[in-house]
Amino acid sequence: MGLFSRTRPTPLDGVDLVLADLDGVVYAGDGAIPHAVENLTRAAAGRPLAYITNNASRRDSVVARHLTELGLPTRPDEVVTSPQAAVRLLRDRVPAGATILVVGGDGLEFELLKAGFVVTRSATDAPAAVVQGFAPEVGWAQLAEAAYALAVPEDEGGIPWIATNTDWTIPQARGIAPGNGTLVSAVHTAVGRLATVAGKPERPIFDEAVARFGAQRPLFIGDRLDTDIAGAQAAGIDSAVVLTGIDRPKHILAAPTVSRPTFILGDLRELHEPYPETTYKGDVTTVGGASVAVDGPDVRIVSEGDRPIDLVRAGAAAIWRTGRAIYGFRVPERLYADPFHRR
């Protein structure tokens, strides 16, 4: 993918399905992020709007109700969850109706029961697999049961271990909190095994969403490069990163090739604005009124322009164009400025 698309006047032009992440894009905690509801509503006027979430703690119906309460009328089938993606993987690895040890909350347990599996919380029930997802109530006792069940490596006859996702953090109303990745890492540290991941950045969750709506030109909106944008890129989907959640301008500038978005947005108002062309003249990269030059090891701001988001776009395009990692440059602090968070 990459930032260098010049084919659309706005990020939504030609898009037949908008897919949005939730935490950090639509809401943080229980409250909506500024400008999210009205601009997603506007985006849905000409095409379907659906949601992809790695958060395994809630059922699709609960998520849909929350979105509806925020002002985004949503049906359960318009929410694609990481537990649904985990079930997709599980069906290929264990017999129908098998007993599954669940580490997580109601959203994960609900999807397993709906798919016909038997759910247990104890390793003494000889489970056929462990499926692990985030829930605020997950603690030492659940992690210990997973470790007991996963003591034998899979290639030595042990059972499969599927994680709904491995997001290291999750945005909450009070700030950034540990996500499922930290809990999966705790089990990994105990047993020395790696989980198979069902949600972002892996393909199953994206493939499920695209197939469900029969889309040809979807756009995925996320706030994390390592899960949202990398996953969309792996699935062949255009993406927009929005700076209202986890990743900040400094992360955008340093993004590796596998997690570079098609579009960079300060907030969701910019879905509906003409997306400026990226142009090059010698060593100078220009986006809107902002220009950035790369001179050997130095990244230099030629013009800040009048929109901070265009400066981030120009800086990212200039650095990405070189094919070199950001740690090989001297980058001015001004490029790391962050006036975007939850505007």
Tell me the catalytic residues: 21, 23
Q: What is the 3-state secondary structure (H, E, C) of the chain?
A: CCCCCCCCCCCCCCCCEEEECCECCCEECCEECCCHHHHHHHHCCCCCEEEEECCCCCCHHHHHHHHHHHCCCCCHHHEEEHHHHHHHHHCCCCCCCCEEEEECCHHHHHHHHHCCCEEECCHHHCCCEEEECCCCCCCHHHHHHHHHHCCCCHHHCCCCEEECCCCCEEEECCEEEECHHHHHHHHHHHHCCCCEECCCCCCHHHHHHHHHHCCCCEEEEECCHHHHHHHHHHCCCEEEEECCCCCCHHHHHCCCHHHCCCEEECCHHHHHCCCCCEEEECCEEEECCEEEEEECCEEEEEECCCCHHHHHHHHHHHHHHHCCCHHHCECCHHHHCCCCCCC
Query: How far apart are the C-alpha atoms of 175 and 59, rounded to whole Å?
Result: 23
Residue pair 219/19 in contact by the 8 Å Cβ criterion = yes
Give 79's strand partners: 51
- Determine the residue type at 315: G
